[in-house]
Structures are given as structure tokens and as C-alpha cells.
Amino acid sequence: MQSIFANARRGGVSSFARKVLLPLVLLVAAVTLDPPPAMAQSGIIDSIQVTGSQRIDPQTVESYLLVAPGDPFDPDRLDRSLKVLFGTGLFADVTMRREGGRLVVAVVENPVINRVAFEGNKRIETEDLEREIQLRPRLVFTRTKVQQDVQRILDVYRLSGRFATEIQPKVIQLEQNRVDLVFEIDEGPLNRIRGLSFIGNRKFSDSDLKDVIQTKEYAFWRLLTTSDTYDPDRLSFDRELLRRFYLENGYADFKVVSAVAELTPDREDFVVTFTIEEGPRYKIGEIDIDVNLKRVDKEALLPLVTMIPGEWYNANEVDDSIDQLTDKIGTLGYAFVNIRPKVNQRREDLAIDLTFQVSEGARVYVERIDIEGNVRTLDEVVRREFQLVEGDAFNTSKLRRSRRRIGNLGFFKSTKINNVEGSAPDKTIIKVDLDEQSTGQVSLGVGFSSLDGALGDIGISERNLLGRGQNLSFRFQGSAKRQEFDIGFTEPYFLNRDVSAGFDLFQVTRDRQDDSSFDERKAGGALRLGYTLAPDLRQSLRYQYKQTEIRNVKAEASRFIRDQEGKTTVSQISQTLSYDKRDSRNNPTEGYVVSLTTDLAGFGGDTRLARARVRSGYYIPILEDKVLSFLFEGGHVLGLGQDVGIAERFFIGGQQFRGFATSGIGPRDITTSDALGGNTFYVGTAEFSFPIGLPDDLGFKASVFTDVGSLWNIDSTGSDIFDSSAIRIAAGAGLGWSTAFGLIRIDLTSALSKEDRDETEFLRFSFGTRF
């Protein structure tokens, strides 16, 4: 041994390793290591034995294997078989071993879920959480799915503004390999928006931009909204709202650099900062239409372009012009038309030249429409808003209008529509991705009115009943002098046509003792039908049957009222034709509306009359947040072979004609001063409304106004009746507060021109809205 090591020292390490150590290592390896693959694959699988299975049949387990009796013991196929078994999610553990010619597969089954429960959820209902998770009773329990469900629940809480929520899943072992799964939830505090700021805005103030976006800063008066809680999806939408706003105002180079939400140092709230680049403001330069279609005259198309050179650029008007051109060219027989606005920005002149390039588009047809995300809303509710159906010629203008129509339903938080290539080059598939939102509403309100005293209001409505797009509403409003109960149902697409149909049931009780010495009760029902005649032009038909009772008439009341005591029935048919070009029905700032309503009674009942009523409004925006409006309302009722009853006459004053008390103008009994109502009236209003410097989201606005009008003409005659058609004029100022329960308004008005027997009113507190 010594000589060996001596030779190693003399001959060097390399010689020693090569001659002595290397053969020794190879010998040991040959004895101790596994046999080579060729030896491992030797042998044939005689049989397969499955152990450990309880609920799952052994043959089912064998069906997942990639080997069978008669196959060799192939390590690669056995390894892939192992992965397949784990991939089924049915097993917590799987092992394989060889016993001679037998392949033994030992499995440990995942348990079955017996019950899923939630603990600690106070802000979100259990039913809502159950809809979000994928695990259910009688399904196989897997840790992967549990973690996925935990993330789903966290996402639900984050959408409601709670980012500090913690969820701990607990598993309770039961007999027969069953488990109870309990999600223990610590909801944490509500993460609100403590601060909201903008960087880079020079032309518009922070206050202006805060009105544009949906995200709002926390304020105590936002008890009924979630706009002041942090929502990353809402923040993304705010970026798009800012972009649209600036493009509408001519800032073609505008971009949102970033929108960052940062937790406050106490980690309870968020501070949101938008960094923007406004760029210069552009005006419209030259406008041209490049058309290369037969039978299409460029000069005939130019008037359809809604923009005028020299005006500020507005991206919305570009889209409107494309829609107008597409519709017009479509009437000339071109179903496949492509209109693209070619934009030439002259930065040195701050002008944008527009050329609408009109060409015959590729013949592409709609192969199918795929709708996703409408968990509750039926497909047909979405499809009927489309102006395209399968087989139609594809039209981008109609697709854009379809997107607007679906969004206007109010059933979805977001509506994404795009088209992708179909099964052939001349076919396209329209993809619709929807995100549903709650459509039910419960409203509770209290207030006070100088007319009716203390007010209570309860309303329940569902705008998407059973996912069919139907509207069901219930409302009760009560006060010391007036009680009103209404139930209404509307089917917007009756008989699968663009015709709305519905019914109403109502009962109204009103105390008119102060102004006319009687009480009035009306109860009945109505059937209605409405349809569109043209864009913005709508026709409505209505049949109403009601019973009116004049009761509790004072002994000293006017003889003209005592003669009316008792019950009458009215069976009438009505029609309303309306043309509405307002930018908003609830809070108009621009446009106009005109409606004409006619009633004809005498189809049954004991009342025969004809009545007409016209209403109109014209709104002019002054600067950016001020509105000048002109309103008019007038009507006339005519008895057919009989006098018009007091319940069917017009009574004017109060909220309808400020400066005068309820029923403050019109025919009156000289002896008792009871208001008798009139057959003819008109009321006109000129009003200028403006903000008062408070944040716009508070909903406060002030106004100055002038009301003019008159009420006259009564069938009864006599020296003891005062009846004058003289014009009355009143002027004043008011303050309005738009709340979740409606518009609350205080008006201070002085009657400038009146008759001696008119009853005036200086202060009026109203709860409601005006046309």
C-alpha cells in the first residue's frame, strides 16, 4: 500500500487516478446504480391493480392510464399516466409500483364537499358570494380550486371598495371522506377615496375634471353611492371619460399619462392622481368628402356633415357625421360602404382638416353574434337592441348604434363589442362582452312640502324583471293632504316588436278643503302602448278607466261644487305624440322637446269630453354649466253634450305656476272663494339656472325665473262666478338640490300681475320635479 501511494506521489495525481481510482469507481457504479433504461423497460405488464379507490371505480382509474396489460413497463408512459391522474383533480395522491409483472396503482381520493359556508360576511350577502365561487356541495374538494375561490371572493370585496379583506379557508373532516368547507372572512374597513387630484391640467380646473369622471372623493352625503370607494375598473373607465371629454372640446393631442392610486400612510384609504397632457386646442379647418361611388353626389352629402369650419373640433360630431353619411348612402343602394375620416392636423394653425373618404367596402356579412357575460339577462333582450342580425351586410355605423342602444338599457356596467374574422374572408363574427349590474332599486324618502305638509315616499322597482328587460314598479307617496298608490308594468318589446306595452293601477286621494271645500278620490287602471315612428319621434296610445268621487263637501261650499258631489266614471282613449331632441331627459341642458296629448272620453262610463294638451321645452346652454330654458304648457277641455265636471277641469297654481297658491288663479265662486277650475289654460316659463360655487356633485343649483299664464272658461254661468282670462305674471329666484330621492326646491316668488281674487304665495317648498 505504501508503494502504491509512493508511486502516486512520484507519478502524479493524473496517472494514479487513471490507473487505479477510475476502474474502482466504475466497478462500484456498476454494482450500486439502477439498471440502464433497456433493463428497466424489460418485462411486460401482466395485470393492473388499483388500490385505495372508494367512490371511483377501479376501471375508471385504469381508463386514465396510458398503459394496459400487455404493454412494456415504459417509464415515460408511466410518468405521463401519473400526471394524467393528478390532472383529473380526483386524487390527493397517486403512486405506482411494480410487483413482478403486476403494476400497482395506489390512489388517495380527494374528499367530497358536504357543505360550503361563509362566516364574517356582513357587507355582502351569502347568496352573492355563492354565485361567485366554483366549489359546491357534492363536488370534489381540491386545494387549487379553494385558492381560486378565495381569489374570487377577494375580487368581489375589492369591487365594493374593501382591499383589506382577509379570507381563511377552513376544512372540517367528516366521515366517509367528506368535508365541510368554511370561508372565514375578515371584511376589514371600506377603502375610500380620500383625495383626488390632477397634474397637467391648465385649461380645465380640478373641479371641472372631477365632474367628468365617475370616481369621487369621500363625502358624508354620498351614503347611497359607491362612487367614493376605490375600484380599479372604474379608474380605467375614468381614463376613457377624460379622453372623450377633451376630444369633445377640441384637444386632439390629449392623453392620460398615468392614473395612480396610492394607499394613505394609515393604509385605510386611497389617494388618486391623474397625470395628463392636454395639448393645444384645435378648430375645424377645411371639410371635404372624397366619394367614388356611382349615383352619389358629393354636394348632396356635404349638408349632412354636422361640423362647420371655424368651430372647435368635436370627436362626437365626427361620429355623428359618419352615421348620417352612412344612412344616406345606404338609401341609395350601397349596403357595403366604408367611410373613414382622414385627419390632417395643421399644428402651426391649430386646425384640423377633415376629409371623409367614402368607398364601397368589402362585401362582408355577419356570420353570427356571440354574447357573453349576460348571466341573468336573456340573449334575446340584448339581440333585439342590435340593428344587425346574422346574414346582414356588416355595417360599422349600425354596430356603433347597437352599442349605444345596449348601453342605454342600463342593465350593464360595461359593454364591449368588436368583430373578428369569421369562417370565410367575407364573413365576420360580432363578439359582445357584457358586465351586468344590479337593476333593482328600493327608495325611501321623507320630506316636507308647503302644499302637502310632511311627505313619505316608498318605491320599489325592477328594470330587468327575470332578465327579460321588463319593468315592474310599485310606489306609495303619502302626506297629510295627498295619498298616491301606483303599480306599473312595462314590456318594452311586446310580441317581439319594437312596441312597448304595459298597464297601470292607481289610487289617488287628495284633500282640497282649503282651496275648494271638498275631498277627491280617483281609482282605476290603464293599458298603454308605445312605439317609435322615427328617430326621436314617438307615439303612445292609452286606454284608461277610472272612478272619481267628490266627497266630504262642506255645507257652506259653493253650490257649483255641491252639485258635483258623488261618483262619476270615465272611460277614455288617449294618444301622445312626442318629439324629443334633449341631451338628457332627467337633467336637460341642450335641445328641445314637444308633445301633444289628446283624450276622448265616452266609450262607456258617464263622462263624455274631448281634451287636448300641449307641452314643450327649449334648452340653451350658456357657457359650460349654465342653462337658459323656456317651457310652455297649455290645454283645453270640451264637454260633449254635457258640462265638464270639476274633476276633469284644470287647476293651476303652486308648483306649476309659482307666485300663486295651489289653485290660486282661475274661475272662483265670489261668495265662498272656492276655486272651481277652468277649461282652458296656459303657463309659460323663462328660467336661467346656474351653479352656486359648491361642488357640482352636491347637486345644488340656483335659478331666476319668470312665470306667465292664465286659467279661464267654465261651463257654469252666473253673477256669483269670477272668470277672467287676464294674464298673470310672477318672477322670483329659487334654489334646487338634486338628491337620491328627487329634486328638493325652495322658490321665493312675487306676483307682478294678478287679479283681485287670485291667491298669491311668496315662499314655496317643493319635493319633486318639473317638466
Residue type, 530: G
Task: Report the distance separating Cα 702 and Cα 599, nearest Å.
Answer: 36
The backbone torsions φ and ψ at residue 39, rounded to the nearest 5 degrees and listed phi first, read: -75, -35
Encode pLDDT of 692-702 as tens digits: 877 666 678 89
For the segment 202-210, the average pLDDT, to the nearest whole number, is: 85
**0.95 cut: is pTM over it?**
no
Side-chain half-sphere of 483: how many Cα atoms within 13 Å? 6
List Cα–Cα distances, 575 to 146, 542, 724, in angstroms.
Answer: 59, 6, 30
Task: Report the distance separating Cα 63 and Cα 90, nearest Å.
Answer: 14
Residues 693, 694, 695: CA angle, nearest 5 degrees: 120
Residue type, 136: R
> What three-state secondary structure class fits 623?
coil
Core vs surface per residue 346-383: b (16+ CB within 10 A) or e: eeeeebbbbebebeebeebbbbebebebbeebeeebbb
Do residues 288 and 324 lie in contact, with contact meaning Cβ atoms separated by under 8 Å? no
Check whether 34 has a pLDDT greater than 80: no
> What three-state secondary structure class fits 521?
strand
Check whether 159 has a pLDDT greater than 80: no
pLDDT of residue 292: 80
- Give the H or E element holding residue 320: helix 315-331
Cell of 121: 360576511
Encode pLDDT of 597-620 as tens digits: 999 999 988 999 999 999 999 999
Helices (H), 46-175: 58-64, 75-87, 126-132, 143-159
Task: Report the distance separating Cα 727 and Cα 673, nearest Å.
Answer: 20
Q: How many CB atoms lie within 10 A of CB 203?
A: 14
Q: Which of 5-14, 55-64, 358-367, 453-462 has the highest mean pLDDT?
A: 55-64
Task: Report the distance separating Cα 167 and Cα 749, nearest Å.
Answer: 59
List Cα–Cα distances, 610 to 567, 635, 716, in angstroms.
Answer: 20, 11, 18
pLDDT of residue 766: 65
For the segment 24-40, the average pLDDT, to the nearest whole number, is: 38
Characterize the bridge pairing of strands 700-712 and 566-580.
unpaired
Helices (H), 481-546: 513-516
Check whether 396 has a pLDDT greater than 80: no
Gyration radius of the chain's alpha carbons = 39
List Cα–Cα distances, 250 to 199, 254, 302, 311, in angstroms.
Answer: 19, 9, 21, 9
pLDDT of residue 56: 84
Cell of 50: 388499483
Encode pLDDT of 168-189 as tens digits: 999 998 888 889 999 999 888 7
169-173's contacts with Cβ under 8 Å and 24+ in sequence apart are 171/141, 173/111
For the segment 80-97, the average pLDDT, to the nearest whole number, is: 88
Cell of 397: 355605423
Residue 451 banded pLDDT, cuts 50, 70, 90? low
Q: Which is more confidently placed, 384 or 704? A: 704
Q: Which is more confidently placed, 617 or 75? A: 617
pLDDT of residue 444: 59
Task: Report the distance separating Cα 286 and Cα 356, nearest Å.
Answer: 11
Please give the share of the chain, as a percent, with pLDDT higher than 90.
35
Task: Report the distance separating Cα 349 and Cα 283, nearest Å.
Answer: 9
Q: Which of 153-162, 452-461, 628-637 has the highest mean pLDDT?
A: 628-637
Check whether 227 has a pLDDT greater than 80: no
- The mean predicted confidence, pLDDT, of the chain is 84
Do residues 185 and 145 lie in contact, with contact meaning Cβ atoms separated by under 8 Å? no
For the segment 649-656, the average pLDDT, to the nearest whole number, is: 89
Check whether 565 has a pLDDT greater than 60: yes
Check whether 358 has a pLDDT greater than 90: no
**DSSP 8-state code for residue 667:** -
Task: Report the distance separating Cα 202 and Cα 696, nearest Å.
Answer: 20
Task: Report the distance separating Cα 366 and Cα 534, nearest Å.
Answer: 25
